Amino acid sequence: MAIELPALPYADNALDPHISDRTISFHYGKHHAAYVNNLNGLIEGTEHADASLEAIIAAAGPGGLFNNAAQVWNHTFYWNSMSPDGGGDPSGDLAAAIDASFGGADSFKEQFAASAKGNFGSGWTWLVKEGDGLAIFNTDDADTPLKHGKTALLTIDVWEHAYYLDYQNARPAYVETFVEKLLNWEFVAQNFAA
Ligand code: MN3
């Protein structure tokens, strides 16, 4: 049972002009697809051949198996972290939790953006559940909150391939656009309630 590349939750051009269909064609169509293909090559005929993606991530030590499995999971989570109708503010229980942990939605957005801008090199910036509260968590390369016992609520990919075609080296502009225009609070709320 091979690991499959999940369909995008929107059309290839749905995030235009913030994330272009050209970026999607490479980032989803080439990078994400390559992680899936690499992973299937690595698990074929092994003890992991019929395992779930989450089980492979849990079992894998440092190296190619972990990197490809985690990148498959992280990218699927990233696509869902954005919406053509994104941006705005959280509501309900999630808003209360954001207030309690960060002092309000605006303060959260500032702290999340600052962490994403400052996440050195290739990696991911996450909102996670941590104990009774919420926290911002940076990971390097393919690393993922699953491997740290944390529940992911939101992520932004800060590898250069996520933004270079649309923003060149201007990671801050990409991060600010993500937070203001793309952030899918409904997805965050689903993960928070789960
Ligand atoms: Mn990526």
Domain-ending residue, one of 32, 56, 80: 80
- The 10s digit of each residue's pLDDT in 79-92 is 999 999 999 999 99
The reply to whether 185 and 96 lie within a common domain is yes
Residue type, 90: P
Rounded Cα distance between 134 and 24, Å, is 30
The reply to whether 73 and 127 lie within a common domain is no
CB-CB neighbours of 81 under 10 Å: 25
180 domain residue, yes or no: yes
8 domain residue, yes or no: no
Query: What is the number of residues in the chain?
Result: 194
Q: Is 78 helix (H, G, I), strand (E, B) or coil?
A: helix
pLDDT band at 14 (very low <50, low <70, confident <90, very high): very high
Distance 142 CA to ligand 1 centre (A): 9
Distance 180 CA to ligand 1 centre (A): 20
Distance 37 CA to ligand 1 centre (A): 15
Distance 157 CA to ligand 1 centre (A): 6
Residue-level pLDDT at 159: 97
Distance 93 CA to ligand 1 centre (A): 30
Give the CATH number of the domain where residue 151 resides: 3.55.40.20
12 domain residue, yes or no: no
- The 10s digit of each residue's pLDDT in 140-193 is 999 999 999 999 999 999 999 999 999 999 999 999 999 999 999 999 999 999
- Give the domain range for residue 67: 21-80
Distance 190 CA to ligand 1 centre (A): 23
Distance 32 CA to ligand 1 centre (A): 7
The reply to whether 105 and 178 lie within a common domain is yes
The reply to whether 118 and 69 lie within a common domain is no
Give the CATH number of the domain where residue 40 resides: 1.10.287.990
Domain-ending residue, one of 60, 80, 100: 80
The reply to whether 175 and 96 lie within a common domain is yes
CB-CB neighbours of 117 under 10 Å: 15
The reply to whether 152 and 97 lie within a common domain is yes
Distance 100 CA to ligand 1 centre (A): 31
189 domain residue, yes or no: yes
In the numeric block, the tokens 């609520």 are attached to 153
Integer CA distances (angstroms), 148 to 107, 118, 145, 152, 164, in order: 25, 21, 5, 10, 29
Domain-ending residue, one of 32, 57, 80: 80
The reply to whether 72 and 160 lie within a common domain is no
Written as six digits, the tokens of 69 are 């499995």
14 domain residue, yes or no: no
Domain count for the chain, please give it: 2
Distance 161 CA to ligand 1 centre (A): 6
